[in-house]
Amino acid sequence: MKVVSVCHMFPNRIYPNIGIFVKERLKYVALKTELTMVAPVPSFPCMKYVPRYAGLKQIGEKESFDGLTVFHPRYFMIPKYFKFLDGRFYGNSLEPFIENLFDQIKFDIIDFHWVYPDGIGGLQWARKFGKKTVVTVRGNEAIHFFDKTIIRNMVRKRLSEFDHVIAVSNDLKDKLLRYYGIEQTRVSVIPNGIDKIKFYRMDKIEALKQCGLRQDKKYILSVSRFSKEKGLEHLLLAFKKLKCKETDLIIIGDGPLKSVLVDMCATLGIEDRIQFPGIIGHSDICSWYNAADVFCLPSLWEGCPNVIIESLACSVPVVATNVGGIPDLIPNRDYGILVQPGDSDELAIALRSGLEKCWDKKKIENFGSKYSWEDVADKVINVFKGVLS
């Protein structure tokens, strides 16, 4: 089976931490298929003068990343404005590259990893070459993004043109069936997974030492992008209400709200009990999970958050909001506590309960470890086989 996977958010040597979950899935799919990875890179005049995009110039046309050969063709994009045109720009810019690729490898199926612009832009290639298509809907940000009228209408009309849709949670599947009219037989739920070599239970004292943390304290850990939908302001408010001087909060990540969160810590008077270590790579973050007593994800909406699976695999219980695919990952109180989004009072109570409860760590570890990328890849390949049969 010859597969072309297309994803505009894929890790590269300049930005190695974007789209890790896509890379991990495809790394295992590639072991059982002939997979060609296409990770398009945006391009526009004067790009080097826009800090957010300047580094993209350094990405080559082809590179090897974690054992995968990755092509980086360029596509035209207007930053910030005219987003409803991104799909058309994407499809038209990349069609010559895809046509040349088809002449070389005669692929069987095109595997898209975001609905927009990857999938919508790429449907024109599928029609031209008569190829089957699969698209993955990865998070509620996709559904909310489509609230913009032009893009939403475009997706509503065209999502049914894909041969199969993979949703990473039951919540997303329900939304696709309810709001986008996709036939139930053409939607599969395949959650994200973890690399069990990278995420595992380790000695807590050793983990604390590796992270430079104290053994006489308890730690609440959150790993998140610092953006509005992650609900980190509610976590800070809840932490303030805990009033546990022997407990510190560690928030790993970065994003547009970092300065807001730092200022909020000072305003609340909790800055001396909160750490912001920044972005920590996949190869180093296992010890941080293991050093924690409770993991917290206070998101306002979600898809299938890998950080929860990673935490569980490291035997750390979870306190999280009852949104998106999170209830799939925390089916009962043996593994964590779920609260309503945006309620800092309820979150504070749950965090206190999580810190005080005597958890069955082995049971948590076994449950989290069942979400392996090997199993995910097998399920994805079965979808491909079904589409091609």
Identify the CA nearest to 58 among candidates 12, 118, 23, 24: 12
Q: Give the pLDDT confidence score for residue 146 in this predicted structure.
A: 56
Q: Is 22 exposed, middle or buried (0-12, 13-18, 19+ CB in 10 A)?
A: buried
CA–CA gap between residue 340 and residue 187 (Å, rounded)? 28
Structure tokens at 281: 């790579």
> Is there a contact between 75 and 94 (Cβ–Cβ < 8 Å)?
yes
pLDDT score of 8: 94
Cα distance between residue 294 and residue 317, in whole Å: 5
Q: Enter the CATH code of domain 204-369.
A: 3.40.50.2000
Give 347's contacts (C-beta < 8 A, 6+ positions apart): 234, 235, 237, 238, 296, 298, 319, 339
Q: Any idea of the CA torsion for 30, 282, 118, 182, to the nearest 10 degrees?
A: 80
Tell me the domain boundaries of the chain: 2-193+372-388, 204-369
Instruction: Note whether 2-193+372-388 and 204-369 share their fold.
Output: yes
pLDDT of 319: 99
pLDDT of residue 175: 87
Q: What is the pLDDT of residue 151?
A: 76
- Cα distance between residue 227 and residue 256, in whole Å: 6
Tokens of 354: 């999580």
Host H or E run for residue 164 = strand 164-167
Model confidence, pTM:
0.88
Q: Is 294 helix (H, G, I), strand (E, B) or coil?
A: strand
Cα-based distances in Å from 99 to 4, 30, 96, 116: 12, 22, 5, 20
Condensed to tens digits (0 to 9), the pLDDT of residues 317-354 reads 999 999 989 999 999 999 999 999 999 999 999 999 99
CATH of 2-193+372-388, one of 3.40.50.2000, 3.30.70.20, 3.60.20.10, 3.40.50.1980: 3.40.50.2000
In the chain, which stretches have pLDDT less than 70?
140-148
Residue found by looking up tokens 């010559």 in the block: 96
Confidence at residue 303, expressed as pLDDT on a 0 to 100 scale: 86
Q: What is the pLDDT of residues 178-208, one digit of tens each?
A: 888 889 999 999 999 999 999 999 999 999 9
Q: Determine contact, residues 349/319, Cβ cutoff 8 Å.
A: no
Q: What angle do CA 242, 227, 195 make, to 5 degrees?
A: 85
Instruction: Classify strands 62-65 and 164-167 as parallel, antiparallel or unpaired.
Output: unpaired
